[in-house]
Chains A and B, each alone.
Chain A
């Protein structure tokens, strides 16, 4: 079908709430190659998690896929039954969640929860499963694995629990690991350890990672490509260097500006992006970022910007980049 491991084309997804249709994703397209790390950044509600969840068929209740195609590892996710999805989840694609404190079931041992996924997706015998569980805990850097397997989640620290979550996710050596803000709930030193561990395991196991985060520091250090999302749209896509050194969309520029800098002077204020996120119940007609944009033009309020390509992989949807073309066009 395609050379990509993940290929999402023109995905549209809405949540049908009592208050109305919340347009969570408006025409999202992205792709991930094997072994690639793609970062999706954006603020809360921009649709980054929704995109990833829909790929696993984990879209929460009032959510509905309205259009587009999702391909993963030769499967057309749109057409798959729940039963087929169950074979995929935890096996070919796995996920680690934001909060390790609540993502493990408190009434079962760590061992039980790791073995569970192995029992489900492999034909291993009981002793092989146990051996694999120990191996997995060693892999994610947990000492005394045999003892840990018998412990309950509440007996482990947050960082440990996230390691256990990673062990569960990697149990069946998935092709794709989705990491949904894996370090947000952890303190900074543990964050670094977990990210380092993920990169190490990526190199060892050769899986692709879809890294969802609002922390630009995380994507800078880890990702090959970055997709910047805003209000259910991918507003800019490019390599990590493109995004950090040559941002083209006004929102991306704002994000980069808002990062605290090592070389900033004392008492220098951070530069925030003014305004509030758009209401997805009534998304604006034109560019979703227009109301917060410093360079907003009249056309931004009226129409969605077309995609401008700067290279094969770097593109954005912003009228500012069409300006030259438009002005040139009007002269003709």
Chain B
């Protein structure tokens, strides 16, 4: 087990390094640069800026310098947000996104799993059909539509919930719901199909033949087997969701990490692009290791090698 985790961590370092390298060169291949703007900058000033941030050096040298610093934990300063370091941006904005995202994942899990079970147990009946229609909508409707509709109904029409910022618990409700919508729908569908699969298994018939009532056979025998695909999905989902959503954060004006991802790319803010990408990659790889370990705990047939 320990050996397995160490091995996976070693592989994780390689993965993150590959992601960083790829991003670095791709980013520099894209036309444009951080200091080009609609207002013409004088060639002299441009030169001076590039020299200051080391962008005038050959690309490979820049790469080596960046990687060298990154290994020592220095991800540089933002090229566009004056006076802010990349680490500073991430440490100040990640907690906001993480809080929202964490709640959203929790909501999605707590609603999606029971809903999927109910749906599977009532297969083909009216309840199942209703749940499936809603879940399909949840997957099909893009999040900006959900956000806008929530805002219109609860914020404008009913006036129950505030629409901007994150100052009280009430402010959290709409963004969390908006973030949770898609994963809830996805988990519901995943849980339904997985549960249907398990309910048809021979060991469920054995459970019934033993004289167990439906609740016990469902909770003890079916759930633990049916939850496995959900576990697989939860890892990447958590990594994505806690790093924030550009759309939800923009619409509800939340100062989270999600807007930094997209913002940095449109601004060609090289250091922020690199910082956020490495951060997401690390989180993703880490979550996958966690998923593997949880998997092993749920299903004894899995061997971690």
A-side residues, CB < 8 A to B, are 56, 58, 83, 85-91, 94-95, 97, 99, 102-108, 116-117, 120-121, 152, 154, 165, 168
Contacts and interface: CB of A to CB of B under 8 A. Distances in A.
A85 B210 CA distance: 10
Interface of B is mostly: helix
Interface residues of B, number: 20
A105 B211 contact: no
Interface in B206-237: 206-213, 220-221, 224-225
Contacts of A95: 209
Contacts of B221: 105, 108
B299 A106 contact: yes
B203 A87 contact: no
24 contacts: A58-B208, A85-B211, A86-B212, A89-B209, A90-B209, A90-B210, A91-B211, A97-B205, A99-B202, A102-B202, A103-B203, A103-B205, A103-B206, A105-B206, A105-B207, A105-B221, A105-B225, A106-B299, A107-B225, A107-B299, A121-B211, A152-B301, A154-B300, A165-B206
Contacts of B208: 58, 89
A129 B210 CA distance: 16
Interface of B: 201-203, 205-213, 220-221, 224-225, 298-301
B278 to A, nearest CB: 37
Contacts of B301: 106-107, 152, 154
A31 to B, nearest CB: 22
Given A152-B300, A152-B301, A154-B301, A105 B203 contact: yes
Contacts of B212: 86, 90, 116, 120
Contacts of B205: 58, 97, 103
Given A58-B209, A87-B211, 4 more contacts: A89-B211, A90-B210, A107-B224, A154-B300
Contacts of B224: 107
A6 B207 CA distance: 23
A285 B20 CA distance: 76
A90 B211 CA distance: 5
B300 A107 contact: yes
Nearest to B208: A58
Nearest to B204: A105
Contacts of A165: 206
Nearest to A98: B202
A85 B202 CA distance: 19
